[in-house]
Amino acid sequence: MIKVNLLATAPGAAAEREWVPRGQRSAALGLLMLFVTGFGVAGWWYYLHNERASVDAKIAESEARLVQLKEAAALVEKVTARRAELTERLDLIERLRIAKRGPVSLLETVSQSLPEGLWLLEMRQQGTVIAVDGRATSLTSVTDFAEHLQNSGLFQRPVEITTTSEVFEESPVIRFVLRAEVAAPAPSVTPTASTAPAKPGA
């Protein structure tokens, strides 16, 4: 019996085509791995480049914010210094106002405390001590004057009185020297209606 192998390659048929020759497969695989590694490195570099750009942008934004904060801090410092200067000026003005008001309050208090039959010749101030030299037609007028000064709240108690008798134009008068110490805070006290001397017959 004759057996015929129909699957056998006919003489002169073309050989099976190989995409990569056997001898070059290792080199091709190495080249492929090299390309894959290159693409991986390029992708990693691109990722790091984007991350660096993002970090640089954040740093620039932070630096700009820092500059703004420094400018704001300088402005706050300037405003604070200006406020302290204005406060100091206001305090100085207030002290000057009080110092200026002191003699006015003193004169108003003394003037409103004068009873009938009493007049002043001289008034001196040395520190916080006030010395008043005057004349009165009666001792009652002198004591009323001292009492009015004490009740004004501008002077400390007691108000010292020294009196002597003399004759003026053939009429007996009382010469008095009154010493009083200004109470603290002295000049800011303004006499009220209650300090006004009582009029005779009121």
> What does the pLDDT look like over 124-146, one tens digit per residue?
888 888 888 998 888 888 888 88
Q: What sign for the dihedral angle of Cα 155, 114, 95, 160?
A: negative
CATH number of the domain where residue 176 is located: 3.30.1360.100
In a domain, 36, yes or no: no
**CB atoms closer than 10 angstroms to residue 191:** 21
Residue 200 has a pLDDT of 41
Is residue 126 domain-resident?
Answer: yes
- Residue 74 domain flag: no
Strands 160-168, 129-136: pairing is unpaired
Q: How many domains does the chain have?
A: 1
Domain hosting residue 125, numbered range: 104-195
191 part of a folded domain = yes
pLDDT of residue 195: 37
**Which residue spans within the chain are E strands per DSSP?**
118-126, 129-136, 160-168, 171-181
The verdict on residue 146 lying in a domain is yes
| Domain presence at residue 158 | yes
pLDDT digits 0-9 by tens, 41-83: 888 888 888 888 889 888 988 988 888 898 889 889 889 998 8
Q: Is residue 164 part of a domain?
A: yes
What's the DSSP call for residue 11?
T
Range with lowest mean pLDDT among 18-22, 118-122, 194-198: 194-198
Q: Does a structural domain hold residue 72?
A: no
